[in-house]
Amino acid sequence: MPDPVLHTERLTLRPITAALAATLTAPQTNGFPRADDLSLLAGIQASGDQARDAYVVEHDGVPIGTVGAAGALSPDGDQEIGFGLVVAARGRGLATEAVAAVCARLEAGAGVRRLTAEVQPGNNASMRVLQRLGFVPVQGGSTGHQLLARSAPGLPDVRPHLIGRHVC
């Protein structure tokens, strides 16, 4: 069953299918797609299918970034997320809005116990987005990157040593 289109106060999050990915690769004046977006879109096109819980973020009908699950749900119930917006869309709370919508969607899914995200050193904006949404620093992550996590609603706040791969 395809993922639903998600709507927030200011954004529309469209599930990225192979067909949609093919239409999003042409450069736009706002800087979309970013290099990370192109990599995601190419992978979805190559698979010929829809990526689970991967969304293009639209503001006023214009693509401004991507957000979603990064990889498969771990056997322990950890789901990594990733996100990124074009420079022109930053600093207005749009990333927080988009990430909040996807987190709610993922946490409503079966088996998700904890969401994780890795942040590159110096990416204070992504760190603030995640902290606003209840993510806290935990041990683990790739060398030089900060790993953050949040437990799904109704589960105890567990901060064990986690492992992640996606870099925001």
Whose CA is closest to 34, among 86, 95, 90? 86
Whose CA is closest to 162, among 117, 122, 120, 119? 117
pLDDT tens string 9-24: 999 999 999 999 999 9
User: Which CATH number characterizes residue 27's domain?
Assistant: 3.40.630.30
Look at residue 167 and tell me if it is in a domain: no
Domain of residue 147, residue span? 6-151
What's the pLDDT score for residue 129? 98
Look at residue 59 and tell me if it is in a domain: yes
Query: Measured between alpha carbons, how far is 168 from 98 in angstroms, rounded to an integer?
Result: 14
Query: Measured between alpha carbons, how far is 72 from 87 in angstroms, rounded to an integer?
Result: 28
What's the pLDDT score for residue 147? 92
Please compute Rg for the chain using Cα positions.
15
- What does each of the 168 residues of the chain score in pLDDT, given as a tens digit? 678 999 999 999 999 999 999 999 999 999 999 999 999 999 899 887 767 799 999 999 999 999 999 988 999 999 999 999 999 999 999 999 999 999 999 999 889 999 999 999 899 999 999 999 999 999 887 778 999 999 988 776 655 444 444 444
What's the pLDDT score for residue 161? 45
Query: Measured between alpha carbons, how far is 90 from 129 in angstroms, rounded to an integer?
Result: 11
In the chain, % helix, strand, coil (3-state, to 5) comes to 25, 30, 45
What's the pLDDT score for residue 149? 95
Number of independent structural domains in the chain: 1
Cis peptide before 33 (omega within 30 of 0): yes
User: Measured on CA atoms in the order 87, 92, 97, 100, is the torsion positive or negative?
Assistant: positive
At 76, list the tokens. 């322990």
Look at residue 164 and tell me if it is in a domain: no
